[in-house]
Amino acid sequence: MLRKSIIAAAAALVAGGAAAQEPVRIGLVLPMSGPFASTGRQVEAAVRLYMQENGSTVAGRKIEVILKDDGNVADATRRLAQELVVNDKVAVLAGFGLTPLALATAPIATQAKVPQIVMAAGTSVITERSPFIVRTSFTLPQKSVAMAEWAAKNGIKKVVTVVTDFAPGHDAEKWFKEAFTKAGGQVAAELRVPIANPDFAPFLQRARDAQPDAIFNFVPSGQGSIFIKQFVERGLDKSGIRLIATGDLTDDDILNGYGDAALGIVTAGHYSAAHPSAKNKAYVEAFKKANPGMRPNFMSVGGYDGMHLIYEALKKTGGKTDGQALIDAMKGMAFESPRGPISIDPETRDIIQNIYIRRVEKQGGELYNIEFATIASMKDPEKAAKK
Ligand code: DHB
């Protein structure tokens, strides 16, 4: 009997020792190729920067990131997530550059009880698709409601919306209209532009024909350049019609390439490379140093803060990787991000953050989104409305 328990104790020790040496693996699934590769590059760069600054050991456990490129194909995202869970035994799935990619993975997170940290996608419904999803990016309703309320208070009465025709665009269109009409404004037309190889020209012509005070736009990260080019080609920048948008349009990654036509565009967004805080100044400097030629954009902070959430959750669990324990540790967590103060809503696992109203201005020869008003600690309006 005694001998048996000694053997059992020794076996437990060996097992425990082996477990302590196993790294905590994070499966990072991103579009590193294809039309949205810029999102993948930004999130990956921020994840690596966080680890460079904070080390790769947490609560006595080594952290290992396994990066997979889904090429913006949802079937690939699902397959890669499945393989990461089954073969690599990842403790956490992270990344997810676009809504369809995040949605495709949700059933795997639920079945495997593995936390899925959504670092980039922004459709409201995503967090409701699995109790194991936590979001560090943003929601389109947050930005669109903030933009609508500002527009209604600033002399804009009639708007045409021009959004990309997929889930986050539908969220932007719906929540802009809801908030704008509630505040007394009118949406004269709602135009949707296909996501693949977009040609905005015919939609911009229709928008112009309706003679609105402003066009409200949402495009996914990376597609702003072509929108601005066609906006200028049609002379809309000189038409007296104002351009307002979610911050996705004036993406810090590509804004400098827009030229002076972008000056004065007002957007609502959660992150600006010009956000005036010590934390952000240090972030931008370190990001640029580690990634020559790149400027951090609103996608990058989802990666950076997502890593912080994982590190802090592991500290709370003492290095244990039980999925439910990690999710419980993440609920309600609050900290300062380069974007400003953020927290994870303990009820919805969605992000609560400031949304800033910004104007494109030139500073030191570069174009920036300069924040001039703040809607503090905004919850996702769609979830708030459901309650
Ligand atoms: C989504 C993708 C984007 O590139 C963006 O800017 C906003 C939302 C998405 O797919 O959810």
Q: How close is the Cα of 194 to the center of ligand 1, in Å?
A: 14
Q: What is the pTM of this model?
A: 0.95
Model pLDDT for residues 134-160, shown as the tens digit of each residue: 999 999 999 999 999 999 999 999 999
How far apart are the CA of 215 and the centre of ligand 1, in A? 19
pLDDT tens-place string over residues 43-95: 999 999 999 999 999 999 999 999 999 999 999 999 999 999 999 999 999 99
Conformation bin of residue 343: beta by default, left when phi > 0, alpha when psi is -120 to 50: beta
Q: Report how far ligand 1's centroid is from the alpha carbon of 120 (Å).
A: 7
Q: Band the pLDDT of 5: cuts 50, 70, 90.
A: low
Average pLDDT, the chain: 95
Per the CB < 8 A criterion, the answer to whether 44 and 32 are in contact is yes
Q: For position 12, what pLDDT does the model report?
A: 46
Instruction: Return the pLDDT at 200.
Output: 98
- Bridge partners (DSSP) listed for residue 162: 191, 217
Shortest-distance Cα residue to atom 10 of ligand 1? 98
Q: Is the pLDDT of residue 18 over 50?
A: no
36 Cα: distance to centroid of ligand 1 (angstroms) = 9
Q: pLDDT at residue 192 above 50?
A: yes
CA separation for the pair 160, 30 (Å, rounded): 33
Mark residue 224 as left, alpha or beta (left: phi above 0; alpha: psi -120 to 50; beta: remaining).
alpha
Distance CA 235, CA 232 (A): 5
Query: For residue 100, which atom of ligand 1 is closest to its CA?
Result: 10
Our mutation pick for probing the ligand 1 site, out of 41, 99, 226, counting the most ligand atoms within 8 A of Cβ, is: 99
Question: CA nearest 279: which of 218, 337, 343?
Answer: 337
CB 298 within 8 A of CB 253: no
DSSP state of 59: T
Atom of ligand 1 nearest to the CA of 121: 11
1-15, 234-248, 290-304, range with the lowest pLDDT: 1-15
Question: What share of the chain in percent tops pLDDT 70?
Answer: 95
- The pLDDT of residue 386 is 85
Arithmetic mean of pLDDT, 24-32: 98
Pocket of ligand 1 (CB under 6 A): 39, 98-99, 121-123, 168, 220-221, 248
